[in-house]
Structure 1
Amino acid sequence: MSHGALLVLDDYYGAILRLADDAKESDPVFRKLKNYARTQNYYCLWGLVPGAISDEASPFNECSHDYLSGARMLLLQMRGMPSV
């Protein structure tokens, strides 16, 4: 994913997880994606490190890619869920 896409996802990360929490149905893939996005965000110090997304040299850049990619996959998974 491009850094521009990551920056947009970062703006909506919390909203994506709230939407996932409100989903009425669930399946194993959905639960794993939600857990992955939350866990990776935790490992990345909750996304609070300045420049973690925009600075390629930042040691937190890779984990930012991880939790935001997880949020993207979670969003794509929710597209096919009737309650979302």
Structure 2
Amino acid sequence: MPESKRRKKPAYTPPPASSAPEQNPRWWAPTMVTLMILGLVWVVATYLAQSAWPIPGIGNWNLAIGFGIMMIGFVMTMRWR
């Protein structure tokens, strides 16, 4: 009976494991929370002042600015580790 041939390539060796997962800078989490709270305060102030404040003259665009600030904070949560 014929013998099977030997493997020519070496056996699988897994890649080396990384020593530690990538960490965010220390300022990441406080900035993220601050942006979400600042956006919330901006929107609440806009509603309480009936779109006349924090920036007078732009009306309901104050809401868009507040929600935009909040969205930047929420987008930062996706990269938080």
Same fold (TM > 0.5): no
Q: TM-score, normalised by structure 2?
A: 0.38
Indicate the structure whose relative CO is greater, using CA pairs within 8 Å and at least 6 residues apart: 1
State which structure, 1 or 2, has the greater radius of gyration over its C-alpha atoms: 2
